[in-house]
Amino acid sequence: MYHPHSSSTLEIPLKGSDNVLEISRSSLPTPAELFDILKAEEAPLRNYVLFALEYARQNNVDSAIKVLIDGLNVEYEPNPRPRLPLHNLLASLYIRKAYQPGINPHDRNTLWSEATKHLGAAEKINPKDDTTWISKGLLLLSRNSLDEAYRHFKQVLGENSRSIPALLGTARIHFIRENYVQALNCYRNVLKLQPDCIPNPRIGMGLCFYKLGMVEHAQKAFTRCIEMDGHDATAHVLLGIIEFNKCKHPDLSEDDMKQHYKAGFLHLKDAYAADKNHPVVGLYMSRHFAVIKNVDKAMAFATKASNANGLKNVQSEGFYILGRIHHQNERYLDAVACYQKAVTYNPDNLLAQFGFGQTLLFKQDIAAAISAFERILSKEPKCVEAIAILGSIYSRSSASKGKALEFFDRATNIIHERNTLSIQDPLMFTEMAQLLEQTDIPKTLKAYMFALGICGQKIDRGEFVEYMPELLNNVAAINHMDGRLDAAEGSYNKALDLCAAKGDDVDMATEATITTIRYNLARLYEERNEIQRAEEIYKDIAARYHGYADAHLRLGVIEQSRGNFEQAAELYKDVFGMIDNKNVDAWTLMGMLQQKQNQIRNSRKTLERIVKEINRHDVYALLALGNNHLGIAREEKDNMAMKQELYKKAFEFFDKVLKIDAYNAYAANGIAISLAVHGHHTEAREMFLQLREAASAIPTIWLNLALVSADMGQYRNAVLLYQSVSKKFFNNEDENVILSMAKAQYCLAKQEKSPEKMQQALAMAQRAFRLNPSDKTALYDIALIQQSYAQLVSDRASSERTVEDINNAMAGLNVAKSILKSLIAVPAKEHVYYERDIAAQREKHGDSLLNMLQRKLKDQEEFEAGKKKAMDETRRKREEEKAKKDEEERNERERREAEERAILERRRALDEGAKETQRELDEMNRERAERKRMVVSEDDLSDDGLDANGERESKKQKKDRKPREPKEPKEPKEPKEARKGKLRKKSELEGRARSKSMDRDDDGIHDDPTSQKSSSKKYKSKETIESDEDEMSD
Amino acid sequence: MPTQFLTSLTKEDAHEDGIWSVAWSSKNALVTGSLDATVKVWDTDSGELKGTLTGHQLGVNSVDTNADGTLAVSTSLDSQIRIWDLENIKQHKVIDAGAVQAWTAKFSPDGKHIATGSSSGDINQFSVESGEKVQTFEGRGKFSMCVAYSPNGEYIACGTEASPDSATVLLFDVATGKLRNTFKGHAMTVRSLAFSSDSSKLMTGSDDKRIMIHDAVHGNTIRTLSGHSAWVLSVAVSSDGVHVASGSSDSKVKLWDLVADQCIDTMDGHSDQVWGLAWNKQGNKFASVSDDKAIKFYSTTSA
């Protein structure tokens, strides 16, 4: 080691004299001037070394090198020996230069080869020179050949165990190899040998202490450095770093944290004051400015650090900070570039690796992002954040959902393992929940609750959880979906409160969240029938954010439900006209509305537009089109070829749907209708039954099942089905369903020839009529049923009807007549579902029925009088018989009693003389008493037997009597036309019911886009809406 | 604290089929009309059947009693208007209105007239004494589903079937016979309406599931009550004007407090459509009738 401060001047011995030329250290000449002097005076090479050292001390390495090269080139010194120190010094200067920050790799290699060259020359002069060996060791060290370098230092230390550079080099190698104890020992040796050594071995010691967890010792070491040299930037910055690292301790209070940060920053400031170019200092300055959001300064320092060539870790960190700043400011492309450099300089910079992965995701470079996160996992297999993100990435593609869940599970397990809250990531659970939403609702809710729990604890710790409202919204949505409306409302409101707590000037994201939550809340109000509250919210949303299509659509649906079709249409038009021309929901609702208004052609056009221009796989539109064609096919009465063609088209649509969604109950329903239409009733019924099992919430299936049952003559079944569907799905509000029920009941009554059942059909028709009194079809049906009732009463045997029945039937015929009269009188311009001339024929038929019943009334009265007489006669006879029998019985009983009395008397006479036979006598008496009881019960039995015989006999009589009765011809006077009319009417009833059930098809679907389709949307947090919608339309 | 009403009496199977209409007379007789074509008279205290009135051929879809509680009027799908003597429980008079020409009927407050709605949308006023049609209020061509006189006798209101222009509630001036106001709140059929006892407000119930309260004099809508999940079939106002009862095809009876401005109770004792509601004169009791054949009586806890 040299000691440059021994004097303030350097001397050059003058040639041929004892005098010297003194040159002040503070005003060194240029290397060229110096060389001129040295050459002229033929100064020894030793002097070249001294000047080079002085240049180097003044950080003028290039001049030092120049002087040394000049020295090597002088010809006045022929010996190689004095050249050795020059070579050594040159080598170490080159190494030093190569180590300088800001150097490019090519230059550095050049410098290293220069160094190698000179060390080679030195070795030639003296293969055992310590300095050469040390320089070689240092060169190897800087080239990262640790083993070789270690060998060289060891060699030197073998010769001279006190060689400071060798000790320092060895310490460095130990440190790099993380043998901190050995490294510490080496530094300690240096300290003992040379307490004021530069570089200060205390720095190395402090670093070892720190690595060994002896933070206080480390701090002491660095502090001592500063005491020795207040300008020791390294010591300052290391003290700063220790303080900064303390801030990261999780259990630290906020105040303590601030305290540490402040202390750290003070050290950093001192370090910066000491050395403005210290790369690590620059790095930490940059970090500091990033923390306090002074972006410009942070960028400047980070850029400088990133240019610290040769210091890969510093460069990596510099680029990382730059990347972070870009990242935070959403300049993702810049961020990606910086992160990429950061990980290139140091692949182990995991934070940079993480940022790199995150920004790659923004760039949609998914594959690269995945490998970035996988790299983190290869170093840190339990990095929950990376696992969670990978899970999240995989969850975006339906193909890798299983993989995603694996990762989430892995993350969950690690979290459970570590059981500390600080690393729990609520977002991961949120994503996990979103992933599970489609498959496992209870697990989803669990994941959300987990996330909420973590957030709750975060909030308890005073942390701010930004996405808490979204989380609450999602939890609420699940409760909402499962019908726990109160719980859902609570969560929605809580979420809104949290948003409100953010103050007045909320950012865009919060605004969007608030809107989503309010929309969901409105949906909830709708479900609770608090339509007005819902409406207010939708209106407010639509006014604030005109582009929020769903709010407009819901308002439309509400208007439509109130019968305000025009307003509804306007609202739907607003959406596809002004907001989004490709909004499938809006077009679908429009198509359904047109259908409801009987604008079949328009409806079809609207729906075709969806399939042709927006999404040809849109299941809702395809189904609606199928139903639309089905409806027209049913209405088509004249052109049978056309009818078949329409049916065919309809089933093509259903077929398409089934190809897209094999389990679509609506489409399967359509196919079953096809079977029914083509007369395959049994198969159709079978299919409807299966469908009802699978999709019991779809009224159409029930209705079709009822229809097919009726077609197959299973009227009782059909009536039961209609009853249950009417109550279950339509609150008994749907006139057409009830009319269909009445029709099935009517057929049942005819089938069973039962006037009582016909009365029930009448009640059903009345119910339908009451629901919609302006519909004359129901009225016509009432008249028809009244007449049929009269017919059935007329057809009945006198013994099975009463005068009252006939009177009732006649009164009914009168009502029917008045109804038919009014129906015939309906002005011709009014469209009606019956034919007026047939109604007229019906009226006449009623008259003839009335005449007939009038005659039959007389017969019935006579019959009943006769019957009454016969019955009276029978009763009288029976009474006589009974009296006679009673008489006989009484006589018999008296006879027996007399007998018994005689016996008793005889016994008593015997007893008089023989008291000892008393016991015998008692026994006899008991025996007799029993016999008496037996006699009595025998009497009872015979009575029963008589009654039973009597009844059997009367039944037999009835049976015998029947054929003897004059047989009435069935509907004898009904004109042929009237019969035809009746049949037409039947098909009319059927047709209407069918067409109505078609309407219901559509209603079912119509509900879907609004309730199911958008409802699935409402349960998502905003971020996932789009992706989910894509899935919906798939 | 809003007044509470409790179910005080239930008459199951009060008719052989669904009960479609009800009226509570000032002499505390409850008159019910049913799909079984009969009209029955009940004692509102004991719930005892006082008599069954027959004559209608089809379901009885409206009943009303006159102000002094001596007469009842009923209309049926058979288009007959029948007036009944409530004291002797027997028929008083029959008016044949012609097919679907008398859908529902109401007594005028002075008991001299009966107003009925018709399929043409016109309101016909018949004289109770002569049985003759004495006046016609011209509607707008939409089937008139329900009618009501204002208690002061100045107006007749009617609710009609669904109309594209939402003009489903009409108010006529009795004196001039002219249409006075059109209320455009409901686009769907209005099946029931009722005036407040001071004649200032008109309550209407509609298939749009809502109840609207209109200012009868000025024609503006004061309030809309929503809560039923299906059609509102019946509305009735208590004499103090505080409570509105509503019945729906969702089988529920709802009780609204107009002072507290909220639904204070929902009774779900019925199992089918609730077609009729009637308050007693004091406004502390009411009755509901339903397609489930039951009559239910409700009274305040204090009554």
The answer on pLDDT for B45 being more than 50 is yes
Contacts with A821 from chain B: Cβ below 8 Å: 99
Return the residue matching tokens 């019906």. A842
pLDDT greater than 70 at residue A1015: no
Between A458-472, A521-535, A559-573, B129-143, the lowest mean confidence (pLDDT) is in A458-472
Interchain proximity B209–A564, CB inside 8 Å: no
Residue A936: band (very low, low, confident or very high) from pLDDT cuts 50, 70, 90:
very low
Asked whether residue A500 carries a pLDDT value surpassing 50, the answer given is yes
Structure tokens at A336: 């990606």
Other CB atoms within 10 Å distance of the CB of residue A844: 15
Q: What is the pLDDT of residue A995?
A: 33
Looking at residue A128, its amino acid is K
For A117, the token pair is 């060259």
Check whether A233 has a pLDDT greater than 60. Answer: yes
Confidence of residue A716 (pLDDT cuts 50, 70, 90): very high
Q: In this complex, do A731 and B161 lie within 8 Å of one another by their Cβ atoms? A: no
- Nearest Cα of chain B lies from the Cα of A596 at a distance, in angstroms, of 13
The amino acid that residue B200 corresponds to is: S
Most confident segment among A81-90, A304-313, A719-728 = A719-728
Tell whether the model's pLDDT for residue A76 goes beyond 50: yes
Residue in chain A nearest B250 by alpha carbon:
A731
Q: Are strands B105-107 and B113-117 parallel, antiparallel or unpaired?
A: antiparallel
Q: Where does residue B121 fall: left (phi above 0), alpha (psi -120 to 50 degrees), or beta otherwise?
A: left
Looking at the predicted structure, is the pLDDT value of residue A1013 above 80? no
ipTM of the complex: 0.94
pLDDT at B183: 92
Residue B54 backbone phi and psi in degrees, to 5: -115, 160
Residue B156 — very low, low, confident or very high, per pLDDT cuts 50/70/90?
A: very high
pLDDT band at A434 (very low <50, low <70, confident <90, very high): confident
Q: Which amino acid is at A979?
A: R
Confidence (pLDDT) at A1004: 30
Other CB atoms within 10 A of residue B106 CB: 26
What's the confidence (pLDDT) of residue A195? 84
Residues comprising chain B, all counted: 303
Chain B residues with CB under 8 Å of A733 CB are 207, 230-231, 249, 273
Listed as own residue / partner, the contacts of A607-611 with beta carbons closer than 8 Å and 24 or more positions apart are A610/A584
- b/e A5-43 (16+ beta carbons within 10 angstroms → b): eeeeebebbeeeeeeeeebeeeebeebeebbebbeebeb
Residue B266, C-beta contacts closer than 8 angstroms, at least 6 positions apart: B227, B252, B253, B254, B255
The proportion of chain A whose per-residue pLDDT surpasses 70, expressed as a percent, equals 85
DSSP A28: P
3-state SS class at B24? strand
The DSSP element (H or E) to which A513 belongs, if any, is: helix A508-527
pLDDT surpasses 80 at A710: yes
Contact B174, B155 (CB under 8 A): yes
In sequence order, the 6+-apart residues with CB closer than 8 A to the CB of B169 are B157, B158, B159, B160, B182, B183, B184, B185, B186, B190, B193, B202, B204, B212, B214
SS3 A212: coil
pLDDT above 60 for A24: yes
With a cut of 90, say whether residue B34 has pLDDT above it: yes
Q: What is the pLDDT of residue A997?
A: 30
A73, burial (CB in 10 Å: exposed 0-12, middle 13-18, buried 19+): exposed
Q: What is the pLDDT of residue A949?
A: 40
Tokens of A617: 């796989």
- Helices (H), ranges, B47-112: none
CA separation for the pair A214, A256 (Å, rounded): 20
Per-residue pLDDT band at A420 (split at 50, 70, 90): low
Please write the tens of the pLDDT for every residue from A722-771: 999 999 889 999 998 999 999 999 999 999 999 999 999 999 999 999 99
Residue A344: exposed, middle, or buried by beta-carbon count in 10 A (0-12, 13-18, 19+)?
middle
B148 versus A197: the higher-pLDDT residue is B148
What pLDDT is recorded for position B211? 94
Give the pairing type, strands B71-76 and B155-160.
unpaired
Q: What's the rounded mean pLDDT across residues A923-936?
A: 59
Q: How far, in Å, are A666, A752, B174 from residue A669 at the CA level?
A: 5, 31, 55
Nearest chain A residue to B191 by CA distance is A771
Selected residue of A559, A731, A745 to mutate for chain B interface (largest B Cβ count, 10 A): A731
Q: Report, as an integer, the average pLDDT of A513-541.
A: 89
pLDDT of amino acid A498: 82
Q: What is the pLDDT of residue B50?
A: 95
Three-state SS string over A399-421 comes to HHHHHHHHHHHHHHHHHHHHCCC
Domain ranges for chain A: 663-725, 734-874+982-1004
- Within 13 A of A941's CA, how many CA atoms are on the CB side? 6
CA atoms of B32 and A607, how far apart (whole Å): 49
Confidence band, pLDDT 50/70/90 cuts, at residue A964: very low
Whole-number average pLDDT of chain A:
80
Q: What is the pLDDT of residue A1028?
A: 32
pLDDT score at A911: 66
Question: Is there a contact between A1004 and A666 (Cβ–Cβ < 8 Å)?
Answer: yes
| Model confidence band, residue A275 (pLDDT cutoffs 50, 70, 90) | confident
Say if B58 is an interface residue toward chain A (CB within 8 Å). yes
* B20 near A CB under 8 A: yes
Q: Report which secondary-structure segment, H or E, holds B286.
A: strand B285-290
Burial (Cβ within 10 Å: 0-12, 13-18, ≥19) of residue A747: buried
Place of tokens 């240092």: A138
The answer, yes or no, to whether residue A1016 has pLDDT greater than 60, is no
Of A529, A563, A822, the CB nearest to B226: A529
Cβ distance B249 to A815 less than 8 Å, yes or no, reads no
Predicted local distance difference test score (pLDDT) of residue A781: 93
| pLDDT reading at A1021 higher than 90 | no
The mean pLDDT of B85-104, rounded to a whole number, is 89
Residue B228 with chain A: CB contacts under 8 Å: 529
CB atoms within 10 A of CB B16: 12
- Across the interface, do B249 and A732 touch by the CB < 8 Å criterion? yes
pLDDT at residue A32 greater than cutoff 50:
yes
- Judged against a pLDDT cut of 60, whether residue A222 lies above it is answered with yes
Neighbours of A902 (CB within 10 A): 10
How many residues in total does chain A contain? Answer: 1034
Summarised one tens digit per residue, pLDDT across range A640-694 is 888 888 888 888 888 888 888 777 778 778 777 777 777 777 777 877 887 777 7
For A809, nearest residue in chain B (alpha carbons)? B57
Please enumerate residues of A whose Cβ is less than 8 A from a Cβ of B.
Answer: 529-532, 561-566, 727, 731-733, 762-763, 766-767, 769-770, 772-774, 779, 782, 811-812, 814-815, 818-819, 821-823
Residues of chain B with CATH 2.130.10.10: 16-137, 138-271
pLDDT score, position A389: 83
Of the listed ranges A1-15, A440-454, B46-60, the least confidently predicted one is A1-15
Check CB contact under 8 Å for B119 and A773.
Answer: yes
> What span, in angstroms and rounded, lies between the C-alpha atoms of A357 and A327?
12
Distance CA A631, CA B141 (A): 30
List chain A residues with CB under 8 Å of B224: 532
Label residue B280 by pLDDT band (50, 70, 90).
Answer: very high
Q: Where would I find the H helices in A914-975?
A: 918-961
CB A739 within 8 A of CB A722: no
Torsion of CA A602, A603, A605, A611, to 10 degrees: 170
Measured in angstroms, the CA of B60 and the nearest CA of chain A are apart by: 10
Quote the pLDDT of residue A1020: 31
The string of pLDDT tens digits covering residues A122-148 is: 888 888 888 888 888 888 888 888 888
Q: Does residue A300 register a pLDDT over 80? A: yes
What local confidence, expressed as pLDDT, does residue B303 receive? 47
Band of pLDDT at residue A228, cut at 50, 70 and 90: confident
B64 Cβ under 8 Å from any chain A Cβ: no
pLDDT bucket at A928, cuts 50 / 70 / 90: low
Each residue of A206-220: pLDDT tens digit? Answer: 999 998 888 899 999
Least confident interval from A324-333, A357-366, A367-376, A657-666? A657-666
B245 CA: distance to closest CA in chain A (Å): 17
Facing B230 at nearest CB: one of A564, A731, A821: A731
Which tokens is A792 given? 């059935």
Q: Could you tell me how far CA B209 lies from the centroid of its own chain?
A: 17
Write out the two tokens for B297: 């009586």
B210 in contact with chain A, both atoms CB, cutoff 8 A:
yes
Fold for the domain defined by B138-271:
Methylamine Dehydrogenase; Chain H (2.130.10)
- pLDDT of B8: 92
pLDDT at A951: 40
Give the chain A residue nearest B232 (alpha carbons).
Answer: A733
Does 3.40.50.2300 match the CATH number of domain B16-137?
A: no
Asked if A663-725 and A734-874+982-1004 have one fold, the answer is yes
Gap between the Cα atoms of A84 and A291, Å rounded: 52
Residues whose CB is less than 8 angstroms from the CB of residue A582 and which lie 6 or more positions away in sequence, other chains included:
A576, A613, A614
Q: Residue A740: its pLDDT value, please? A: 92
Query: Which of B78, B79, B191 is the best residue to mutate to test the A interface, defined by the most A CB atoms within 10 Å of its own CB?
Result: B78
Q: Which of A328-342, A608-622, A955-969 has the lowest mean pLDDT?
A: A955-969
Cα A405 from Cα A764, distance rounded (Å): 56
Pairing label, strands B253-257, B144-149: unpaired
pLDDT at A701 over 70: yes
CATH class of A734-874+982-1004: mainly alpha
Assigned token pair, A272: 């910066």
Residues paired with B144 in a beta bridge: B160
Instruction: For the domain made up of A663-725, give the CATH fold.
Output: 1.25.40
Q: Among the listed ranges A186-200, A304-318, A1017-1031, B236-250, which one has the minimum average pLDDT value?
A: A1017-1031
Which residues of chain A does B227 touch, with a Cβ-Cβ cutoff of 8 Å? 529-530
Cβ pair A774:B98 closer than 8 A: no
- Indicate whether A698 pLDDT > 50: yes
Q: Which pLDDT score is estimated for A1008?
A: 33
Give me A942's structure tokens: 């015979």
Confidence of residue A705 (pLDDT cuts 50, 70, 90): confident
Per the structure block, which two tokens stand in for A159?
Answer: 């010769």
Q: Do A812 and B57 touch (CB under 8 A)?
A: yes
pLDDT at A1005: 30
Q: Is the pLDDT of residue B184 over 50?
A: yes
| B100 inside 8 A of chain A by CB | yes
- The pLDDT value recorded for residue B1 is 58
Contacts of B58 in chain A (CB under 8 A): 762, 766, 782, 815
Q: How many CB atoms lie within 10 A of CB A54?
A: 19
pLDDT in tens, A807-854: 999 999 999 999 999 888 888 888 777 888 888 999 999 999 999 999
User: What's the pLDDT score for residue A923?
Assistant: 66
The predicted structure's pLDDT at residue A713: 83
Q: What is the pLDDT of residue A1025?
A: 28
Average pLDDT in the B168-180 region?
93
pLDDT of A527 above 50 = yes
**Interchain CB distance below 8 Å, B59 and A818:** no
Flag if B162 and A563 touch (Cβ within 8 Å): yes
**Predicted pLDDT of residue A931:** 57
Q: Are A591 and A603 in contact (CB under 8 A)?
A: yes
C-beta atoms of B250 and A731 within 8 A: yes
